[in-house]
Amino acid sequence: MTPIQKTYLFTDVRHIRCGDLEWVSPDGQRLPVAGPPLPEVEARSRTGMLPYGIRLAAQQAIKMQPLPKTGRFGRVVFDSGLYRSWYLHYEHRPGENLGAYSTQTPLEVGIGYSESKDGFEWVERGRCTFPVRGQTGFDGFGVFIDPRGPASERYKVVYSARPPEGERPALWAGYQKVHPRYRDVRMREHHLYAMYGVVSPDGLNWEALPEPLMVHMSDTDTTVYYDDWLERYVMYTRLYWQERRWVGRAEAEDFRRWGPVQPFLWPDLGGSLSDDIYTNGRTEYPGLPGYHFLFPMVYHRFQQTSDIRLYSSADGICWMAVPGGPVIAPGEAGSWDSEFLGAGKDLVPLGTDRVAIPYGGTSYPHKYPRWARVLEAVRAAWAWWPKGRLCAVVADQVGEFHTFGITPGGRELRINVRTRRGSEVRVGLAGVPGRSVDDCDPVTGDHLAWTVRWRGQSDLGVQEGEKVSLHFKLRSAEVFGFEWV
């Protein structure tokens, strides 16, 4: 049995009823579209449940100071009360570490693991090496905890690398059978990359899978996770079409056998025509599966700078750009993150009333020559939002909207809201006597979880299991979400 959802976020239109005009007779009787009664009358309209006077707005993150350089971390997972992180580690001979462009096999390749109690002080807890059999050009590292796989493979890693020279002819021959619409245009017979997998029972001891997962080049941010709703593994990865960076997506029932990579996110035609979508930054809201987010880096080639945007999805397949501009923007000129920055993963709780993602930044443009001091300038920090406040329904003046029918998960309703002194929010249960929007005691101020009352009463006044539609009226206010308690 699916548990009743208790917390709802306004991060896209999934909870906002679109409504429509209703046509009525002069005496207020509703007139149907088909077969309206005679005699003909002058019909007039009313708004019904149409939303009006509102807009969605992504909220800018609050950036913290850089973390101390006392530990190394990659993707961050909040698990069992700890912040846990893994990263790909490799040792090259001097002058041979060129990332995805390295043509020499590293002296050593391994996965490092760090953890933190508070997200600020990190301690390395282990590093495990594994054989790579002549692979070169490592990049695109991603890690996840698999709730579906066997205990021996609970932890999984993917990365991109150039296959050993002897394996390339067979991989290239197989790649020719892939329809051109699914091929990476960068691939050539002598310029071939593949995605590889590594598995672990405990996140400390790792074993490389013998065969590549697929032929593909992910020379940057790779995200893999198991989607319980789709019952499939999902990968978000790099594409490079029309000489621009895009984001692609692939699915697999079996982690070792992936379907084609298909494009789903590309530069906005309303923006600069020299922009790329550089990374995906895919994550979920902590504790709320089904609220999928992207924090993609938009790379501005004209200045070689970047910023971070917000996208929202209910299924991880169809995505909506959340209006409002960058949620993480470069700092002031001369500051440590003033030029180029990118978001990490995941979105995690940071204390009790904040959620945060790691991000990295530098004061140098992206392709500035990378001398040692330039590489040293890259720093990491947290960017955070108050709990539930990634996006707001905003009424600049007066606005109104209804939700779809919802089964309450409790006897009281709390809303995440922010108003000015001269503003207010009211919430009603449409059609429930004594619980209308006009019966609601006005809500003012800045509250993460304000209990709604109707003439002093907080009980919903409906039968258990009975669906309700929430009716919001806002005056110069913001609503971020609601929850049942």
Q: pLDDT tens digits, residue range 390-415? A: 999 999 999 999 999 999 999 999 99
Domain residue limits, the chain: 7-16+51-58+391-484, 62-386
Q: pLDDT tens digits, residue range 210-257? A: 999 999 999 989 999 999 999 999 999 999 999 999 999 999 999 999
CATH architecture of 62-386: 5 Propeller (2.115)
DSSP state of 153: G
For domain 7-16+51-58+391-484, say whether CATH 2.60.120 is its number: yes
Helix (H, G, I), strand (E, B) or coil at 170: helix
Taking only Cα atoms into account, the Rg of the chain, rounded to an integer number of angstroms, comes to 26
Where residue 101 falls among pLDDT bands split at 50, 70, 90?
A: confident
Amino acid at 341: L
Query: What is the per-residue pLDDT for 223?
Result: 97
Tokens of 63: 């950036």
DSSP 300-335: ETTTTEEEE--EEESSSSS-EEPSSS-SB---STTS
Helix (H, G, I), strand (E, B) or coil at 172: helix
Q: Is the predicted pLDDT of residue 22 greater than 70, yes or no? A: yes
More confident residue, 149 or 311: 311
Same-fold call for 7-16+51-58+391-484 versus 62-386:
no
Mean pLDDT of 169-177: 95
Query: What is the per-residue pLDDT for 240?
Result: 93
Mean pLDDT of the chain: 95
Query: What is the per-residue pLDDT for 315?
Result: 96
How far does the chain reach from its first CA to its final CA, in angstroms?
Answer: 20
